[in-house]
């Protein structure tokens, strides 16, 4: 039987610190460890699906990474989130891979330097 632990986090900020930041770091480390095995093609992008479980103390555990994540809208949350995710992905790909260019170094640097991730619809 799972017991309710109301003292695990009390605020959204605590949740962000305890869960979201750890998930972001796990994702970063996953890509860092696999970067030499990932094929980079200018003008292309790939969407990965990371599956996590949270233990009773809200510690995230990476279950798997999908290279072809399901984009079904079976739940209300998926109906609200997935169209925004697809829209953000396409807008980001178009912004970072301008037509007629063969390198996006300047666009990526500008995106990072100007913290443009804040302009996307979902918190990444």
For residues 41-58, average pLDDT: 91
The overall average pLDDT reported for the chain is 89
Q: Read off the pLDDT of residues 57-92 as tens digits, 9 standing for 90 and up.
A: 999 999 999 999 989 999 999 999 999 999 999 999
Burial class of residue 7, CB neighbours in 10 A (0-12, 13-18, 19+)? exposed
pLDDT of 100: 84
pLDDT of 1: 40
Residue 110 has pLDDT above 80, yes or no: yes
């Amino acid at each position: 039987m799972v017991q309710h632990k109301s003292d695990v986090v009390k605020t959204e900020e605590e949740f962000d610190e305890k869960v979201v930041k750890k998930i972001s770091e796990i994702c970063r480390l996953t890509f860092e460890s696999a970067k030499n095995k990932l094929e980079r093609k200018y003008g292309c992008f790939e969407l990965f699906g990371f599956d996590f479980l949270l233990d009773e103390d809200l510690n995230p555990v990476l279950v798997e990474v999908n290279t072809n994540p399901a984009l079904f809208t079976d739940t209300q949350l998926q109906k609200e989130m997935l169209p925004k995710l697809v829209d953000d992905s396409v807008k980001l790909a178009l912004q970072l891979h301008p037509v007629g260019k063969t390198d996006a170094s300047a666009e990526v640097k500008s995106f990072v330097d100007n913290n443009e991730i804040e302009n996307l619809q979902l918190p990444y």
